[in-house]
Structure formats: C-alpha cells, structure tokens
Structure 1
Amino acid sequence: MLNEMMFRPIIDEPVLQFMRHDQVQLTGALKDLEENAHERNVPIIPHETVIFLQFYLRALQPKNILEIGTAIGFSASLMAETLPEAKIITIERFELMATEAQKNFDKLDSRKQITLKEGQAADILPELPAETYDFIFMDSAKAKYLEFLPACLRVLKKGGTLAIDDVLQAGTILQPIEEIPRKNRAIHRKLNELFQTIHNDPTLGSTILPLGDGLLLVQKL
C-alpha cells in the first residue's frame, strides 16, 4: 500500500511542513483516523489537502457528492463532517479496503450520510443518474483517471467541480518519458493525456493546485 510519491514533496520542504503541521489540525475520531493512517502508511490525502477541502466545500456547499476511491474512508468521513447536509456516494474496488472503510463509517458517520458501493468504478459509474453530483472527488488508480473522465462528466452537474488527486507524480509529470522509470511510464503517459484532454475541451475550466501530489480541479461549464 506504500505510495512512494507521498514522500517526495513538489514544493519547498519548509513550506510543506508549515502547510501540513502549522495549519488547524483535526480533532476527535477523525484526527485519530488520520494519525492511524499515517502510522500505517495508508495513502490518504495529506493535511494540506484536508484543509483545502474543508475550506472549498464550505464555500461550494454541494448537496450530492461522489467519491471514486474510498480506501479506509478518511476523505468521505471528512466531507461528511464538513457538510452535515450532504449525501455522499463512495466507490471502492478492494474488498479489504471497503470492509475497513465501512467499519470506520459505522463509527464516524452518525448521520448516515455516506453510502459505500463496493466494486469497479467502470461498472458502477454507468449505473449512476446523469447530472446528479455537485462535487466529485477522484482519488483512485491514476492510470484510470482518463478512462473515468467521460463518466464523471456525465454525472456531474453543470457548474459542478471534479477534483482529481495525485496528478503531478512528485513533480516529474513534465519530464520526458525517457527519464521516467519504466514502472511509472503508463501512469505518466495517461496523466499527460488527461491534462491535454481537459485543457483542450472548451466546455471545461480547470486549475492545478500544488497540494499533496497535485490536485486538479475541473469545472463543468
């Protein structure tokens, strides 16, 4: 489960440490879950992304949220705590992760805001109703982001936001592919295709934030 990109910052180290440790920290059971994930090297969103999501979602106030990639349920639990009125659908393909996530939801999701769907996103996304979600958070297999993009845009409301996590490959995303280790070249190629597809689509607006390993925000215009 260890993700080497988690430990290769894309911004200056002192700034990274400030963003991670000097901003407001979580409390209670959600803080415990965050710390437990860090101790076990479970890949969850880093704290600078936590702070951004809290800020952005409070401003956006989405009512219906879709998450692709539940892992242990940290991000979904964070979004539920931030938005007490929101309904969240989250998709996880790995049975072990889904089982642990559901246990965490049983403890943290007292308002029953979160519905976990276990299975492949490629199978589940076509079953979801069109233009339903105000906000989509995609944090799954990076090589699949481009494949999932059309389905995400189909279920995203006009004016809604699709947030795609971990898109900068520890800052190596713009390097020539010959300089990329062979094991990472498929992801490198697919992410660059994702950027080109989004940037060349006049129906989409986008921006990239240097949070974690890069957060791509896409708005359906």
Structure 2
Amino acid sequence: MIVDSNVENYIRSLSNTKDSRLFKLEKYAKENHVPIVESEVANFINILVTLKKPKNILELGTAIGYSSIVMGLSFSDSNIVTLEKNSKMVEIAQNNILKFGLEDRINVVECDAYEYLLNCSSKFDMIFIDAAKGQYLKYFKESMKLINDMGIIVCDNVLFRGMVCDEKALTKRHRKITIVKRLNEFLKYISNLEEYKTSIIPIDDGMSISYKI
C-alpha cells in the first residue's frame, strides 16, 4: 500500500462519483476486472484538465474509455486521441463514448501505443500515459517530441504498489522485478530533466506530472 488504507478509503468516500453514467462505468470495470483509474485519480485528472484547459490530449491506454470520458467532460473544447490495441476494448470504449455524446471529440485509435508515438507528427498540450508500465521510459521519451511548450505529461501507476522502493517485495515477486527496475529508471530519468519540472505524487498507485518549461 502506498497510502494508508483508512486514509485511502476516507478520500474515496469523499470523492464518490456523482455522475450516474460514470458510476455505471466504474461498476462495469469492477465487475469485469478491467483496470481503470480510481475515483480520486479521476478527480485529480478532472482538476488538471479544468485548470490547464488542453485543446489537444493524447492518451496511451483506453480500456473502456473511462479516463478519456473524464477528460472530455472536464473541458468542452478538448480534442482527445486515445490509443488501445485490444479490439474488444476499442469497441466497448467507442460505445461508451457515444453514450456520453463525446464521439466528435474523442477518437479511439486501435494500435500499438509505441508505434503510434514513433509515427505521429501531431502536437499535444497534454499526454496521459496509462499503458504497459515496463515501457514508460520509452513512451515518455517519444512523448517529449510531441508535447507543446508548457504542456504536461501525466503518468499513472508509477509507484507500482510501493514496490519501486521495497527491495524485500522484489525477492518475493520475481516476475515483477523487470517492471519495477524499469519504473525506477523511468522515475530517475524524469526527475532529472532540465527542460521539465516533475512532481511524483503518492496518490492511489502513484502519479507523475511533468511540465515542459
């Protein structure tokens, strides 16, 4: 646990989803074991988008479209490209986006996120990375080429259940070692970039926010 469970539960009790449509998506994700951002992370993203007002957003990792929809509802002038390689998730996300009337502003692209980054020539005001955790460093490096000045790159799950700083946990979960080592490398990299200001936030499973100066 990164945050004490009592504190975490208390925060989530205060941040209960008030939009019944979003609540249905949360329920679906829980019942079908689809990973989406927790309610406190969704609220945080909502605040970020509301304050930053990014016109163009790129998301890596769509799943059922929950976080894309949260961002789309947070700023009515935003246009979002969200990447998902699972064709079943693409279909579910598109249907959910349609229910919210956001199909004109959220474009779900079925593809490999890294391949898209390598071939993309568009620029974005915000990039939200919530895809394969072991690939964050290479995602971030390519995202740096696409982010506008004063743009932000936000990454979810960067503390990986606290395992990034727990050597004992590594000895018990060998298959996670590679991911944890790569996340450690990623966190050190983004924390030492001269052209970015980065904050690592211990919320839920950990988030990072990097602001391009």
Partner of 1:168 in structure 2?
Answer: 159
Count of matched residue positions in the alignment of Structure 1 and Structure 2: 212
Q: Deviations over 1:118-151 (max 9, x none)?
A: 1111211123225x11111100000111111111
Partner of 2:199 in structure 1?
Answer: 207
Partner of 1:6 in structure 2?
Answer: none
Q: Distance in 2 between matches of 1:215 and 1:88?
A: 20
Gaps in structure 1 of 5+ consecutive residues = 1-8
Q: Decide which of 145, 153, 173 is 2:136's aligned counterpart.
A: 145
SS at 1:172's partner residue?
A: helix
Q: Distance in 2 between matches of 1:129 and 1:117?
A: 15
SS at 1:85's partner residue?
A: coil
C-alpha deviation, 1:24, in angstroms: 4.8
Q: Decide which of 88, 100, 104 is 2:96's aligned counterpart.
A: 104
Q: Distance in 1 between matches of 2:172 and 2:136?
A: 19
Kept after mapping to 1: 8 A contact 2:159/2:205: yes
1:57 has 2:49 as partner? yes
Kept after mapping to 1: 8 A contact 2:130/2:155: yes
Q: Distance in 2 between matches of 1:180 and 1:104?
A: 39
1:46 has 2:33 as partner? no
Kept after mapping to 2: 8 A contact 1:19/1:47: no
Q: Distance in 1 between matches of 2:204 and 2:183?
A: 16
SS at 2:144's partner residue?
A: helix
Gaps in structure 2 of 5+ consecutive residues = none
SS at 1:109's partner residue?
A: coil
Q: Which amino acid aligns with 2:78?
A: A
Partner of 1:11 in structure 2?
Answer: 3
Kept after mapping to 2: 8 A contact 1:30/1:108: no
TM-score, with structure 2 as normaliser: 0.94
Q: Deviations over 1:16-52 (max 9, x none)?
A: 0111122252313222112221222211000110111
TM-score, with structure 1 as normaliser: 0.90
C-alpha deviation, 1:188, in angstroms: 0.4
Q: Distance in 2 between matches of 1:26 and 1:105?
A: 18
Q: Which amino acid aligns with 1:142?
A: K
